[in-house]
């Protein structure tokens, strides 16, 4: 029988503890033999000091070893239990009436911890639970369009008729116009800026002397229509941004117009107030390290309900036109 733990009590690692627990050793008794972390140095927050083997002592007894291949590999690669631990386990097994405690209490949590541990060993950041895997974005225009059309990176794919990749001049356009998200007509026809907002946008570009003389490409930060034309959610924007960044890289536009707050904040990676972003030429860094001038202005859908801002939009477009002259 195990003696009460004292200063000279054996310090057991998590594999040894799991092995003894599998043999049926009582958890309350095992807690006294859990390897404790060294006391934190003066001035160091104790919460920042990791427990032995990277796992808290309480988690060792409560969860055991991860189920599946990861747990088996960990058991196979660990050192054998100490002689005193083995003797204690054998004595307990021989005691009449001793039962086995279940080894794995929470295999999902334990498995996630094992994955995170392997990522740390490789020097990678552990991905939060439920987070989508990073998208590998196609490097050619046709493949990129096909990837967007079949994308399922967020929930918007479930209600769309089709993804709206973009439309316009694809060979080094002079202007790239970026909106927020497809509307109902865009979702129906497969092209951005359809309906009344698109008609007004074309009138704005004609007034600024852009079309029909200069090539333009049109797209949105989100490629699928949110149901009810609601505002896209942050996770939906983040799911689509890699596609937009690759579009900018492949199109190599001379200048960019960001229509509306969401497009401006997403492209410039800022939470600054929309009005504070207007009236100046920003520099957007591309994937290749180059920069492209960017101007922020009102979305034409807003101008339909607030026509008093049309003069400001005309000034914004002329600001970019002067840069590109």
Query: Which of 121, 154, 172 is the endpoint of a domain?
Result: 121
Given a cut of 70, whether residue 44 has pLDDT beyond it is no
Question: What is the pLDDT, as a whole number, of residue 21?
Answer: 63
Reduce the secondary structure of 186-215 to three states and give it as a string. Answer: HHHHCCCCCHHHHHHHHHHHHHCCCCCCCC
The verdict on 84 and 47 lying in the same domain is: yes
The verdict on 306 and 265 lying in the same domain is: yes
**In a domain? residue 134:** no
Question: What is the pLDDT, as a whole number, of residue 135?
Answer: 74
What DSSP string runs through 42-86?
TTS-GGGSPPGGGS-HHHHHHH-SPSSHHHHHHHHHSPPPPHHHH
What are the strands, taking DSSP E only, across the chain?
167-168, 175-179, 216-220, 255-259, 282-285, 291-297
How far from 5 is each of 26, 30, 31, 56, 184, CA to CA, in Å? Answer: 14, 10, 9, 19, 70
The verdict on 51 and 198 lying in the same domain is: no
**In a domain? residue 3:** no
**In a domain? residue 109:** yes
Given a cut of 60, whether residue 213 has pLDDT beyond it is yes
Given a cut of 70, whether residue 82 has pLDDT beyond it is no
Question: What is the pLDDT, as a whole number, of residue 229?
Answer: 86
Question: What is the pLDDT, as a whole number, of residue 256?
Answer: 98
- Number of domains the chain contains: 2
Q: How far apart are CA 36 and CA 50, in angstroms?
A: 10
The verdict on 163 and 260 lying in the same domain is: yes
Question: What is the pLDDT, as a whole number, of residue 29?
Answer: 64
The verdict on 175 and 306 lying in the same domain is: yes
The verdict on 89 and 149 lying in the same domain is: no
> pLDDT, tens digit, for every residue of 49-63?
333 333 333 332 332
The verdict on 164 and 309 lying in the same domain is: yes
Mean pLDDT of 206-213: 93
Model confidence at 296, in pLDDT bands (50, 70, 90)? very high
The verdict on 145 and 52 lying in the same domain is: no
The order of strands in the sheet holding 282-285 is 167-168, 216-220, 175-179, 255-259, 291-297, 282-285
**In a domain? residue 221:** yes
The verdict on 55 and 155 lying in the same domain is: no
The verdict on 156 and 271 lying in the same domain is: yes
Query: Which of 89, 121, 153 is the endpoint of a domain?
Result: 121
The verdict on 265 and 187 lying in the same domain is: yes
CB 236 within 8 A of CB 274: no
Question: What is the pLDDT, as a whole number, of residue 142?
Answer: 97
- CATH (domain of 147): 3.40.470.10
Model confidence at 84, in pLDDT bands (50, 70, 90)? very low
The verdict on 260 and 227 lying in the same domain is: yes
> pLDDT, tens digit, for every residue of 231-240?
999 999 999 9
Rounded percentage of the chain residues whose pLDDT exceeds 70: 59
Question: What is the pLDDT, as a whole number, of residue 46?
Answer: 37
Mean pLDDT of 141-160: 95
> Across the strands, what pairs with 291?
285
Question: What is the pLDDT, as a whole number, of residue 288?
Answer: 87
Tokens found for residue 58: 């309480």
**In a domain? residue 174:** yes
Q: Residue written as tokens 């900018």?
A: 248
The more confident residue out of 242 and 129 is 242
**In a domain? residue 117:** yes
Q: Minimal CA–CA distance to 282: which of 178, 202, 143? A: 178
Q: Minimal CA–CA distance to 174: which of 220, 213, 206? A: 213
Mean pLDDT of 3-26: 58
What's the mean pLDDT when you consider all of the chain?
A: 74
**Domain around 167:** 141-324
> pLDDT, tens digit, for every residue of 234-274?
999 999 999 999 999 999 999 999 999 999 999 999 999 99
**In a domain? residue 87:** yes
The number of angstroms, rounded, from the C-alpha of 15 to the middle of its chain's C-alpha atoms is: 33
């Amino acid at each position: 029988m195990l003696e009460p733990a004292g200063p000279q009590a054996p310090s057991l690692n998590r594999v040894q503890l799991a092995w003894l627990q599998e043999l049926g050793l009582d958890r309350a008794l095992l807690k006294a033999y859990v390897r404790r972390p060294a006391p934190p140095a003066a001035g160091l927050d104790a919460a920042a000091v990791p427990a032995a083997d990277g796992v808290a002592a309480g988690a060792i007894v409560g969860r055991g070893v991860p189920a599946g291949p990861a747990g088996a590999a960990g058991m196979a690669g660990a050192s054998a239990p100490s002689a005193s631990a083995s003797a204690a386990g054998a004595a307990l097994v021989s005691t009449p009436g001793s039962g086995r405690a279940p080894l794995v209490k929470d295999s999902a949590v334990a498995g996630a911890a094992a994955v995170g541990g392997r990522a740390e060993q490789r020097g990678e950041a552990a991905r939060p639970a439920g987070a989508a895997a990073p998208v590998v974005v196609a490097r050619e225009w046709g493949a990129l369009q096909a990837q967007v059309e079949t994308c399922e990176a967020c929930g918007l794919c479930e209600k769309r008729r089709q993804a709206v990749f973009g439309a316009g001049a694809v060979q080094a356009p002079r202007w790239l116009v970026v909106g927020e998200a497809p509307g109902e007509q865009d979702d129906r026809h497969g092209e951005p800026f359809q309906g009344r907002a698109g008609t007004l946008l074309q009138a704005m570009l004609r007034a600024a002397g852009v079309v029909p003389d200069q090539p333009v490409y049109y797209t949105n930060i989100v490629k699928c229509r949110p149901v009810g034309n609601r505002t896209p959610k942050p996770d939906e924007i983040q799911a689509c941004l890699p596609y937009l960044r690759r579009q900018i890289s492949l199109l190599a536009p001379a200048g960019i117009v960001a229509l509306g707050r969401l497009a401006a904040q997403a492209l410039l990676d800022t939470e600054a107030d929309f009005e504070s972003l207007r009236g100046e030429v920003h520099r957007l860094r591309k994937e290749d390290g180059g920069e492209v001038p960017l101007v922020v202005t009102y979305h034409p859908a807003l101008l339909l309900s607030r026509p008093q801002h049309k003069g400001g939009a005309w000034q914004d477009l002329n600001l970019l036109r002067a840069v590109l002259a």
